[in-house]
Structure 1
């Protein structure tokens, strides 16, 4: 940059730009400028307005955000269902927040789900259906997954709706044959979890039969990645932070997405030691250190999330998003599975517009967030914590937004090119 140039970012529009001295003069004196004399000055003004750096005086951006949030909350064109076909799992991770058990979805419940979706298609204006398969370990119920998926695909053809699905799995059962089955069922993405490099992972995430899991999981990922896109999530606490660069480089060489996420004690069922968990503030530094190393090694900015507006930060806030447990109970949040007191209805009897659902559909952010300049890319943090009256933390990926923007600028400067995220004003 020139000495007098500055970087500026708008958290509502997502615009990231370079402001030169002329642009800065216009910006800082806009209320006193009566007329712009050159085409260059007019272009600068129009660029500022179109990217949200200048707004009309009668626009209340906080009300605009609230309006857009409510619009997405109640006007979504997508029915999103997270289906848990079993709470059983072939692993016993200490930080798991679910109450495990030998519980599997029956055909009767599966048929109720199909009926629920068909009635929803008949009575609601939606264009898309998205299914997230979750567990337990969902691949222990591959037969139920296949049964329900084929039925939903047929319904979408009948009603001329689009359909896609994803799955969260520990990866131990995701062999090549299973991946082909998932692909045929229009499951277009899989998230697989690890806990670190081989030695670290195997000390923390052993199979219930005592076997090591790392080689099984990584081999499955490599063998299936050409069939179904896979993202690897590495769960991090204070005991397994080392070796992330080695792990990332391994997956990068094999063209597989990789990211880290903090381990948290989200429910009473979770037996993780909270003293070993990072605060969001501490984890934000760790996450960016890993991202910086990833970029330094590979010069690939595409794997680093760009700070962007979130009008609906969590699917649980949508009026058309639910989680279904193996019994057919309906919940709003994945973390509530197993606590029937937090259910918002059942697949068979329908949705109940009562206490729990009303809380989710009416919950607003903490008032102290109103004055925060980063509110559009955060929207108040985890709303489940707000409902439960817990202390809120700013999300780690918001805390380190400035570092990420600087990395984006560094990438821009190194490549000496204009991209769609950086404008010159």
Structure 2
């Protein structure tokens, strides 16, 4: 006997003008696979007395293959959590985030970090290289991924280049591949810097934050001397994105709250007018707590979910290829990775990117799990790593949520701090499915 997976989500019905049939877009959250099914088939699937025998054989086998249909007695929550736990234990990847400096030119109001001129010193640099080499030499990893993060990592370019040479050498010696990404405010991302990052630091992805068009961005992401930053950042972006010898992926992120929600579409228009649709990936994220009260300025979730859907539709209309339907998420974030680590400019270690340099967590940071000098305390990693058990026990509401497989449980840190980090996808996933279908049809009809 079979049952419809509780993680199978169907869009609202829509009319297919070509065939005249009524259909649904179907997402199997367990695998991330998407299918289109006729209304009659969906009615059979969603009937209270459904057993699987009423479906045509080819449809039944197809739905079984994507795990939209599962054994009737299967405990689906346990299956999902077991898979996630296994993925967290062994990803085949060592993911190291490095904050080479604690400095940043900007004074963004929603940032919870305290910035200083501190840079990773030579002694901790040597310790970091030794730690990486020893870890890679165990032979357990197929890939070594580095994320350069801030404060503003490009304020320590010489340290990035120095460490990149050592890391690439260590990876080659261990027989694993190497890659890097940079999250930057964009102030120092000039063409010469971008070329050197790609050629000498193995950078394959760069992410830049723009919080709307100039009018909105400059009210939020100004320099510490209270000067605007948009023109400089956007000028750098445009030169780098259109340079023929720079091919790393570029993501543009807009942090959205009540103060700039009206300014995002104008930024999309600017990016489109400059012909960047095929060159960049654009996405938005609601502003959240970073050890501060930034989340109090957030757009209310239901309104944000509706706005986000309109934003995604606008991106499609303007020719961007945005992620419309989330993929299966076995590992929610670095905090859940057994082999994920962040090291800051003071040589302190964490398993989350949103806790270092944050005064709210105390002078001896609550979330610190060790130092390069003294090593890592494995017991302190359990603050985040055991959150799947909290999902299983029902302590977190994720246990009954239909998007758990594609959300992963959201942010363990925010749950730990008593906040509710449910993503807008929870409220707009059905609209996203329809938009995904429409976007795929648009692309099919546009001649190459």
Same fold (TM over 0.5): yes
Are residues 1:236 and 2:256 paired?
yes
**3-state SS in 1 of match to 2:415:** helix
Does the aligned pair in 1 maintain the 2:93–2:145 contact within 8 Å? yes
1:136 equivalent among 129, 133, 151:
151
Does the aligned pair in 1 maintain the 2:216–2:263 contact within 8 Å? no
Does the aligned pair in 2 maintain the 1:251–1:257 contact within 8 Å? no
CA distance in 1, matches of 2:345, 2:162: 14
- How big is the shift at 1:3? 4.7
Pairs within 5 Å for 1:205-220: 205-220=221-236
Pairs within 5 Å for 1:19-38: 19-20=37-38, 23-24=41-42, 27=45, 28=47, 31=51, 33=53
Structure scoring higher RCO (CA < 8 A, sep ≥ 6) equals 1
**3-state SS in 2 of match to 1:400:** helix
**3-state SS in 2 of match to 1:123:** coil
Unaligned runs of 5+ in 2: 1-15
CA distance in 2, matches of 1:245, 1:414: 21
What corresponds to 2:298 in structure 1? 277
- How big is the shift at 1:85? 0.7
Are residues 1:193 and 2:209 paired?
yes
- How big is the shift at 1:412? 4.0
Are residues 1:394 and 2:422 paired?
yes
Indicate how the Cα distance of structure 1 residues 83 and 45 shifts in structure 2: closer, same or farther if over 3 A, else same.
same
CA distance in 2, matches of 1:74, 1:32: 35
- Give TM-score scaled by structure 2 length: 0.84
What corresponds to 1:353 in structure 2? 378
What corresponds to 2:102 in structure 1? 87
Are residues 1:293 and 2:321 paired?
no
CA distance in 2, matches of 1:282, 1:309: 25
Indicate how the Cα distance of structure 1 residues 105 and 290 shifts in structure 2: closer, same or farther if over 3 A, else same.
same
CA distance in 2, matches of 1:238, 1:97: 18
Are residues 1:246 and 2:251 paired?
no
Residues 233-262 of structure 1: per-residue CA shift (max 9 Å, x gap): 112221112232221132232232222222
1:380 equivalent among 401, 409, 419:
409
Moved more, 369-378 or 183-192: 369-378
Moved more, 358-367 or 113-122: 358-367
1:114 equivalent among 109, 124, 129:
129
Moved more, 104-113 or 240-249: 240-249
1:406 equivalent among 411, 434, 439:
434
CA distance in 1, matches of 2:286, 2:97: 22
What corresponds to 1:74 in structure 2? 89
Does the aligned pair in 2 maintain the 1:127–1:162 contact within 8 Å? yes
CA distance in 1, matches of 2:423, 2:326: 12
CA distance in 2, matches of 1:386, 1:172: 33
Task: Indicate the RMSD between aligned Cα atoms, in angstroms.
Answer: 2.3
- How big is the shift at 1:49? 1.2
Pairs within 5 Å for 1:326-337: 326-337=345-356
Are residues 1:362 and 2:386 paired?
yes
- How big is the shift at 1:48? 1.7
Moved more, 217-226 or 138-147: 217-226
Moved more, 177-186 or 274-283: 274-283
Q: How many residues align?
A: 405
- How big is the shift at 1:275? 4.3
What corresponds to 2:280 in structure 1? 256
CA distance in 1, matches of 2:63, 2:52: 16
- How big is the shift at 1:138? 0.8
**3-state SS in 2 of match to 1:105:** coil
**3-state SS in 2 of match to 1:149:** helix
Does the aligned pair in 1 maintain the 2:113–2:356 contact within 8 Å? yes
Residues 115-160 of structure 1: per-residue CA shift (max 9 Å, x gap): 0101112236111111100111111100111111110001111111
Moved more, 357-366 or 218-227: 357-366
Residues 98-124 of structure 1: per-residue CA shift (max 9 Å, x gap): 121121111211111100101112236
Unaligned runs of 5+ in 1: 418-425
- How big is the shift at 1:279? 3.2
